[in-house]
Amino acid sequence: QQQVKQSPQSLIVQKGGIPIINCAYENTAFDYFPWYQQFPGKGPALLIAIRPDVSEKKEGRFTISFNKSAKQFSLHIMDSQPGDSATYFCAARWGNEKLTFGTGTRLTIIP
Amino acid sequence: NAGVMQNPRHLVRRRGQEARLRCSPMKGHSHVYWYRQLPEEGLKFMVYLQKENIIDESGMPKERFSAEFPKEGPSILRIQQVVRGDSAAYFCASSPTGVSGNTIYFGEGSWLTVV
């Protein structure tokens, strides 16, 4: 029940395309859903986050869509660039408890 | 405006030695989390600490691993008698007290290699 399932495992998109990464969860107590971006040899960096009372959140080229009834959320990257090539992790948390992470998506943007 | 500081960034230990990883949380943060990342894998929770207290250690191996977050000084993750399987990146993260849903910020990680 504490799991967050993430797909796809890897994704290749042409520059300018819109990669979409999906996550699903079971625990309805989760109340905070962040996405992290990780480059090789670096720590995860917070990209964008959403709470379940909001269905969509945009920050720059990054958008989270949230479907509370389906217990799913997704990350969309508009006008993707080669510099967006990284591993993306979704996560979920309730209260001040630990973050539970998805398994990660390795995104490659080809020129 | 320092972030979460981890040291050492890279550590090489021979099998059977001890590894000590240190983490200084962001200023004003009193919650610390340790995660482990094996090559090509996701982040696995290890332990959650507040000052002088272990809140959740459900992800810690039962033997050889310990963590502390003293009243003064950094949080320490200690691995005794290291084995090759301990080779991984260890990430520390911190968040402030109080409000539910506070952002968790990660450090740059400590890469442990056991030879």
For B25-43, the pLDDT digits (tens) are 999 888 999 999 988 788 9
Q: CB distance from A58 to chain B under 8 Å?
A: no
B6-32: average pLDDT:
96
Q: What is the residue-averaged pLDDT of chain A?
A: 93
pLDDT given for residue A93 in this prediction: 86
Does residue A96 surpass a pLDDT of 80?
no
Cβ-defined contact of A45 to B106 (cutoff 8 Å): yes
Point out the residue among B43, B93, B100 whose CB comes nearest to the CB of A96. B100
CA angle B3, B11, B67 (to 5 degrees): 65
Report pLDDT digits (tens) over A18-38.
Answer: 999 999 999 998 988 999 999
Number of helices (H), then strands (E), in chain A = 0, 11
CA distance A100 to chain B (A): 7
CB contact under 8 A, B42 and A94: no
**DSSP at B26:** P
Shortest CA gap B32–chain A (Å) = 9
Among A30, A96, A105, the residue to mutate for chain B (most B Cβ within 10 A): A96
The residue of chain B with its CA nearest to that of A43 is B108
Percent of chain A whose predicted confidence (pLDDT) is above 90? 82
Q: Are B49 and B55 in contact (CB under 8 A)?
A: yes
Short-list B98, B102, B48, B33, CA closest to A31? B102
Percent of chain A topping pLDDT 70: 96
